[in-house]
Amino acid sequence: MNTSRRILLTGLAGLAVAPTAVAAPVPSAEPAEVTVAEERFARTIATAHAPDITCARQAERYADAHWPEYVVAARAVIGARV
C-alpha cells in the first residue's frame, strides 16, 4: 500500500473521532503521557487532516505542529482496535 493511500485511510479512520475531539478545546497532551504508538498515529491523522495534503513536506510540518490535538482521536481508534 503506498503512502498516500495509507494516509488517506488513516485520516478516514480518524474522522470518526477527530471532529468531536478537535472541536472541543483539548489541552495538549504532555509528551510523557503519550505512548509512541499514540504519537505516531496522532501524527498520521494530523498529516491526513493537513490543509494542503498535496505537498508532503507541508503536511509533515502541519503534523509536527498539531499532533497533540489528535491524541484523543488516536487513542479512540487504537482503543477500538483492541
**Which residue ranges make up each domain of the chain?**
3-81
Give the model's pLDDT for residue 13: 62
Query: In the 8-state DSSP scheme, what is residue 53?
Result: T
**Minimum mean pLDDT among 27-36, 43-52, 53-62: which range?**
27-36
Give the model's pLDDT for residue 14: 60
Total-model pTM: 0.59
Cα-based distances in Å from 17 to 3, 45, 55, 57:
22, 11, 25, 25
Give the model's pLDDT for residue 23: 46
Q: Is the pLDDT of residue 25 over 50?
A: no
> Average pLDDT, whole number, for the chain?
74
Closest to 21 (Cα-Cα) out of 5, 4, 37, 41: 41
